[in-house]
Amino acid sequence: MARVDLTVRGGGAFGLCIAWEAARRGARVRLIETTRIGAGASGGLVGALSPHVPENWNPKKQFQLESLLMAERFWHEISEVSGLPTGYGRVGRLQPLANAEAVALARKRHETANSLWDGQADWRVVPATGGAWEPASPSGWLVHDTLSARLHPRMAAAATVAAITAKGGEIVIGDAANEGPVIWATGVQGLRDLTADLGRPVGDGVKGQALLLQFDARSAPQLYADSLHIIPHADGTVAIGSTSEHSWTNETCTDSQLETVLTRAIAALPILAAAPVLERWAGIRPRAKTKSPILGAWPGRAGHFVANGGFKIGFGMAPKVATAMVDLVLDGHDSIPDGFRL
């Protein structure tokens, strides 16, 4: 008799959350991470859990909405079982509006959000007040949505590892045998492996750089300004990111592009000008060619499955990804949107 019901390969957001969901349901789980937990993009700094705009609705946006709505319960249970904080908070988000046309479009989205979000969150145009924690807005108006949340990636990863082990799951750093069905949540390398196996491009990596400041705004909303996420974390830090780079010479080296990010963030929120920089981070994020997560069976490999491609939305999608993958692999229930399949 097998000692393991499910093997999960990869210790990033998708792998950890899948392993937790399976262990939570009583399955015997082995998670194998070759390097370290959060070795890829999931070990970064930002942790923005933010929705797509409420228009042109499709299965991907619906899947993400359901994930964001279930996130509070999901991360709260991990925190309860592990005894560790995840840094989760549904703090909402402010975005500046550039001009009158942007204001008009945002007002229309208020109406569609009421319908598409089923009254469970709000998207509203509000006047700028000139508060210290407000992004500069040329129009004098901001979008305030109450669906956006934040998570501290490293705190969440540590808590999830502890929760998995508390439920009897096994965490292996290095290598071990696969037992039972195998879910490959191996990030950039996993996309490259799929590309080689299937003989067609499936996806690859995009480099991102981010930084962490010492500034306590833990109860404030996250901000999205000048294409930057500004995330006030629960530990009294603020994360800012990120770049999207398709060519680089060093995967983990930061450079002048990150200094430009800091300059833009201070221009959008001058209160950060004197905040000390605690850390600069760079890493490669997995981006599927379809721009959507890749979930489901690995073609031609019976008993093997894939959960990958969470580019910029990995932690936000992870609760729903975990539920869908465990439903499929352990219960035989397939709820994965067609656009997510290989």
- For the chain, the structural domain boundaries read 6-88+149-205+285-340
pLDDT (tens digit per residue) in 89-125? 999 999 999 999 999 999 999 999 999 998 999 999 9
Other beta carbons within 10 angstroms of residue 311's beta carbon come to 20
pLDDT of 342 over the 90 cut:
no
- The pLDDT assigned to 312 comes to 85
Residue 243 CA: distances (Å) to CA of 59, 255, 284, 330? 27, 11, 11, 38
Distance between CA 164 and CA 171 in Å, rounded?
8
Angle at alpha carbon of residue 182, lines to 177 and 185, rounded to 5°: 105
314-331 vs 59-82: helix axis angle to the nearest 10? 90
- pLDDT tens track for 62-93: 999 999 999 999 999 999 999 999 999 999 99
The answer to whether 309 touches 287, Cβ cutoff 8 Å, is: yes
CA distances from residue 88 to 61, 67, 84 in whole angstroms, order as listed: 21, 14, 11
Average pLDDT over residues 27-33: 98
How many whole angstroms separate alpha carbon 326 and alpha carbon 25?
A: 9
Tell me what the mean pLDDT of segment 119-147 comes to.
96
Per-residue pLDDT tens over the stretch 268-315: 999 999 999 999 999 999 999 988 999 999 999 999 999 999 888 889
- pLDDT for the residue 1: 41
pLDDT at residue 322 in the model? 98
Mean pLDDT of 125-143: 96
Q: Is the model's pTM score more than 0.75?
A: yes
Each residue's pLDDT tens digit, 145-182: 999 999 999 999 999 999 999 999 999 999 999 999 99
pLDDT at 173: 98
pLDDT at 2: 60
Mean pLDDT of all residues in 5-34: 98
pLDDT grade, residue 32 (50/70/90)? very high
Share of the chain above pLDDT 90, in %: 95
Average pLDDT over residues 191-205: 96
Binning pLDDT at 50, 70 and 90, where does residue 216 land? very high
Residue 246's pLDDT band (cuts 50, 70, 90): very high
The arrangement of secondary structure in 6-88+149-205+285-340, i.e. its CATH architecture, is: 3-Layer(bba) Sandwich (3.50)
For residue 173, give the amino acid letter: I
CA distance 285 to 44: 10
What phi and psi, each to the nearest 5 degrees, are found at residue 3? -80, -15
